[in-house]
């Protein structure tokens, strides 16, 4: 059993307003991510999936807590460890798994892969492969929300490694300079690939870099979904009501390697991973919390788990039975104009093979 105690954030106003059904839904979303990731790992090991697979296992409370607060004009963009966010914003797991398999039924029609999930209909703008490269885009989403006169925000997620990329700092300066409603969410899982924070990052901490831009900042224990919601609600309110950006550093941990093919024992110990699994697992912590609250019975916990496993299996079956794109699909979705020939205004050749 873990050493969990009742979440100090359970009494926060944003959590007080949750019904039992809402709470179970948070738990269910975290479970769906966990089981989806485990199922995708098996598919990867069975060589059904190419390239990289950056699993979100261990970090579920972050994406679920943040995305549970989204309204109509709140947007999300993240890096390549994007499966959790995609599920948390409401994407169906079948096209997500099919994308991993490289199938035409994938959310990006087999063109993006694991690192490049998108769903504008759920305000989800990727899924980006270059560390920190998505952060200026996130500021652009915030700019767009403000320019179009909406009350909303953009949550720009990154890992702890991204705070040392120049584009991140340029973006932070712009957001602070122009009062753009952007929340910079640093998911600090302690390792940028295999390099620990102490070996990569100067200064007192990650969130503190906001000080240089006169920006509001917060730190957060990311293993407790209630605390994620409490802190994020505060900064999202600042963004929506006052167009004020913030930096939030959320402590979290990934159980798997940076990508699953990477060696995992060169930079951390098995004991460290086990310690997190045992004492800080976001699913276990929240399960205990909900049990204490009398919201979750062992029976309903089992049901949620089984349903999530069944959903992941169904997603894998869907992916397995879907067709691959064809060679004819390679040149689709390159240009808007080429995909809308009846509305094309340009002339000449767009393609050279």
Positions in the binding site for another protein (CB under 8 A): 75, 77, 106-112, 116, 118-120, 125-130, 133-145, 147-148, 154, 166-167, 169-171, 173-174, 177, 332-337, 339-340, 345-352
For 104, the token pair is: 């035409």
CB of 140 to another protein, least distance (A): 2
Listing DSSP states for 8-26 in one string gives TTTTSHHHHT--HHHHHHH
Distance in angstroms (rounded) separating the CA atoms of residues 91 and 84: 10
Q: 23 or 146, CB closer to another protein?
A: 146
Q: Within 10 A of 322 (CB to CB), how many other CB atoms are there?
A: 18
The gap from C-alpha 103 to its chain's centroid, in whole angstroms, comes to 22
- 39 vs 75, which CB is nearer to another protein? 75
Least Å from the CB of residue 148 to another protein: 7
Whether the CB-CB separation of 71 and 153 falls below 8 Å is answered with no
Which residues 6+ apart lie within 8 Å of 325 measured at CB? 102, 103, 104, 109, 110, 111
Least Cβ distance, residue 84 to another protein (angstroms): 18
For another protein, the closer of residues 15 and 134 by Cβ is: 134
C-alpha distances in Å from residue 257, one per residue of 57, 87, 200, 285, 347: 10, 21, 18, 22, 48
Report whether 128 contacts 80 (CB < 8 A). yes
> Which residue, 166 or 263, has its beta carbon nearer to another protein?
166
Task: Report residue 182 as tokens.
Answer: 């952007």
Q: Which is nearer to another protein, 19 or 345 (CB)?
A: 345
Shortest Å, Cβ 242 to another protein: 18
CB of 97 to another protein, least distance (A): 15
């Amino acid at each position: 059993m873990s050493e969990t105690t009742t979440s100090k954030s359970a009494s926060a106003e944003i959590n007080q307003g949750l019904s039992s059904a809402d709470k179970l839904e948070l738990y269910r979303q975290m479970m769906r991510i966990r089981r989806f990731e485990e199922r995708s790992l098996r598919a990867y090991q069975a060589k059904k999936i190419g390239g990289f697979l950056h699993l979100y296992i261990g970090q579920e409370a972050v994406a679920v807590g943040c995305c549970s607060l989204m309204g109509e004009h709140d947007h999300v963009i993240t890096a390549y460890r994007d499966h959790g966010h995609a599920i948390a914003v409401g994407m169906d797991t079948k096209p997500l798994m099919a994308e991993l398999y490289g199938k035409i039924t994938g959310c990006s029609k087999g063109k993006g892969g694991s690192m490049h999930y998108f769903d504008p209909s759920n305000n989800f703008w990727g899924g980006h492969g270059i560390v920190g490269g998505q952060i200026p885009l996130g500021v652009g989403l915030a700019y767009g929300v403000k320019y179009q006169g909406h009350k909303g925000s953009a949550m720009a997620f990154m890992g702890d490694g991204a705070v040392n990329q120049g584009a991140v700092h340029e973006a932070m300066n712009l957001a602070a300079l122009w009062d753009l409603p952007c929340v910079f969410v640093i998911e600090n899982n302690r390792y940028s690939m295999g390099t620990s924070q102490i070996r990569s990052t100067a200064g007192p901490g990650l969130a503190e870099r906001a000080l240089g831009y006169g920006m509001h900042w917060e730190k957060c224990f990311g293993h407790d979904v209630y605390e994620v919601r409490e802190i994020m609600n505060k900064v999202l309110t600042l963004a929506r009501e006052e167009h004020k950006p913030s930096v939030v550093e959320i402590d979290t941990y990934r159980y798997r390697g940076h990508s699953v093919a990477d060696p995992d024992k060169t930079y951390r110990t098995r004991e460290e991973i086990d310690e997190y699994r045992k004492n800080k697992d976001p699913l276990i912590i929240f399960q205990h919390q909900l049990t204490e609250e009398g919201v979750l019975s062992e029976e309903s916990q089992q049901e949620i788990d089984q349903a999530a496993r069944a959903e992941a299996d169904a997603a894998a079956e869907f992916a397995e039975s879907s067709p691959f794109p064809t060679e004819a699909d390679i040149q689709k979705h390159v240009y808007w104009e080429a995909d809308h020939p009846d509305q094309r205004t340009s002339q000449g050749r767009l393609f050279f093979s």
